[in-house]
Amino acid sequence: MKFIILATLLLSPCLRAAEAQPKTAEEIMLDVRQSYAGQNQKLQGELRDGDSGRTEPLELTMGNQAMNFLFTNPPAETIRLDLNTFPARLYQVRNGTSRQVPASQLGSKVRGMDFNYEDLSLGFLYWPRPQLMGEGRVSAQKCWIVRVMNPGKEGPYYAVDIWVHQASGGAAKMAAYDRSSKIIKRYEVTKIQKVNGANALKELRVETLDPATGKIQGRTYMKMNTPAKP
């Protein structure tokens, strides 16, 4: 679902020991947060709507414990995630003016795609009292499954399940639920690439689901180009 995506979204920049040691849910979530904050990359790519094929050019810059999503199509805007704070703070920059994204906007779509501002804020990575639900696999890789619950009433999600790679500490898949415990959003890293010797996002798929039927209502891909060699 960093999911994360949702990093780049959802991937750690380095691999640790092949045999992961048992961890608490709190330790696993700390690993995920640190995997985002420690990255230093600049990637070009796009968001693409799976139904219409419409694209939004995107530049993703990570460094100094911040992530910047630059959209150049009019109206141009930058969405900046400041990872120096706890929880991270999300800002929207337009026409040279920066403002923190209010809670009332977290459920709104970004550039008309299936990403919303809650997704880019990574706010659910900071929700208290995470629960370790067990283990699973994503693309044959062993993962811990951690569930986090929204401590308040703000934002579109009531709970989020996160599949975290045991070897890297990066999130590979996420599923978000509404307050009726119906799944409404899925994220999964479908392709990765090597950038400066580190794992980086190549493709992330995001799906919005109808909570009543479970059918997919919309699908968006975040695709990042392979950087040219210097």
DSSP per residue, 150-170: -SSS-SS-SEEEEEEETTT--
Mean pLDDT on 26-36: 92
What is the tens place of the pLDDT at every residue in 202-218? 999 999 999 999 999 99
Q: Residue 69: which residues within 8 A CB-CB, separation 6 or more?
A: 58, 59, 60, 78, 79, 80, 81, 120
Q: Which residue has the tokens 């968006």?
A: 220
The predicted structure's pLDDT at residue 217 = 97
Mean pLDDT on 72-81: 96
The predicted structure's pLDDT at residue 137 = 94
What is the tens place of the pLDDT at every residue in 122-166? 999 999 999 999 999 998 899 999 999 999 999 999 999 999 999
Would the pTM of this model clear 0.85, i.e. be above it?
yes
Q: Which amino acid is at 52?
A: S
What is the tens place of the pLDDT at every residue in 175-200? 999 999 999 999 999 998 887 777 77
Q: Which residue has the tokens 């709190």?
A: 26
Architecture of domain 25-224: Clam (2.50)
104 to 53, 101, 107, 173: CA distances (angstroms): 29, 8, 7, 26
